Chains A and B, each alone.
Chain A
Amino acid sequence: DSGVTQTPKHLITATGQRVTLRCSPRSGDLSVYWYQQSLDQGLQFLIQYYNGEERAKGNILERFSAQQFPDLHSELNLSSLELGDSALYFCASSVSAGGWNEQFFGPGTRLTVL
């Protein structure tokens, strides 16, 4: 158990819908990272927040957005969902802003778009 929690565990929804994935980082960690993992694209970095501010941005679609709240939990919002958005979404956290080597991954949320 990494100490990072993600809810929900599984999510099934229809195309065109909007969903929110939630992540609570480890106690004391200020950075939250979001990743998408699909069979064809592999693991892709989406976005990083550090202490409430966006820090790094990867291959995140415009239909997706994220934020980090004052209590440091983060939410990833996915809208106008398409079949291709079906994937495993991971959240990770670290203490520092550049903590690529010390990030701890949550168990993931499996999103299925029908």
Chain B
Amino acid sequence: EDKVVQSPLSLVVHEGDTVTLNCSYEVTNFRSLLWYKQEKKAPTFLFMLTSSGIEKKSGRLSSILDKKELFSILNITATQTGDSAIYLCAAWGGGADGLTFGKGTHLIIQP
């Protein structure tokens, strides 16, 4: 059975800190790993990673995939209160089973 595990489950930091969120996966015929941000409502797409070692960057957010060790990290630098959200990681096996999601990391940024 495909599995995605995120850590930590919850994280509280001060504004301006840098955070690293972890995601490990066990997915048959792995194709892609995706990160989403979920605030009060629906998830919004952040990154899709398919190749090892290539960093994807968007502003203060960046993410990288390690296909050998089966994990990905999401970094957020100079955190702001607006970064407070649940960050979801999901893996796709390329087949007809869809995405497998982790339980998410609940990030709280304190002023």
- Confirm or deny: A64 has a beta carbon within 8 angstroms of a beta carbon on chain B: no
Of B15-23, B67-75, B99-107, the segment with at least 4 beta carbons within 8 Å of chain A is: B99-107
Assess the B32–A43 pair: CB atoms within 8 A: no
Assess the B101–A44 pair: CB atoms within 8 A: yes
Would you list 24 pairs from A and B whose C-beta atoms are within 8 A, ordered by A residue? A42-B101, A42-B103, A42-B104, A43-B43, A43-B88, A43-B101, A43-B104, A44-B101, A46-B98, A47-B98, A48-B98, A56-B97, A57-B96, A58-B99, A90-B42, A92-B42, A100-B32, A100-B34, A100-B92, A102-B45, A104-B45, A105-B43, A105-B44, A108-B42
- Confirm or deny: A52 has a beta carbon within 8 angstroms of a beta carbon on chain B: no
Contacts of B99 in A (CB 8 A): 45, 58, 100
- Confirm or deny: B48 has a beta carbon within 8 angstroms of a beta carbon on chain A: yes
Contacts of A47 in B (CB 8 A): 98
Contacts of B90 in A (CB 8 A): 43, 100
- Confirm or deny: A55 has a beta carbon within 8 angstroms of a beta carbon on chain B: yes
User: Which residues of B in the span 70-95 have a Cβ within 8 Å of any Cβ on A?
Assistant: 88, 90, 92, 95
User: Which residues of A in the span 55-112 have a Cβ within 8 Å of any Cβ on B?
Assistant: 55-58, 90, 92, 100-108
Q: How far is the CB of A22 from chain B (nearest CB, A)?
A: 16
Q: How far is the CB of A69 from chain B (nearest CB, A)?
A: 21
- Confirm or deny: A2 has a beta carbon within 8 angstroms of a beta carbon on chain B: yes
A64 to B26, CA, bound (A): 27
Q: How far is the CB of B48 from chain A (nearest CB, A)?
A: 4
A53 to B111, CA, bound (A): 48
A108 to B39, CA, bound (A): 13
Residue of B nearest to A92 (CB): B42
Assess the B104–A56 pair: CB atoms within 8 A: no
A92 to B88, CA, bound (A): 15
Query: Known contacts A42-B88, A108-B42; can you find 19 more A-B pairs with CB under 8 A?
Result: A42-B102, A42-B104, A46-B98, A55-B96, A56-B98, A57-B96, A58-B97, A58-B98, A58-B99, A90-B42, A92-B42, A100-B32, A101-B34, A103-B45, A105-B43, A106-B42, A107-B41, A107-B42, A108-B41
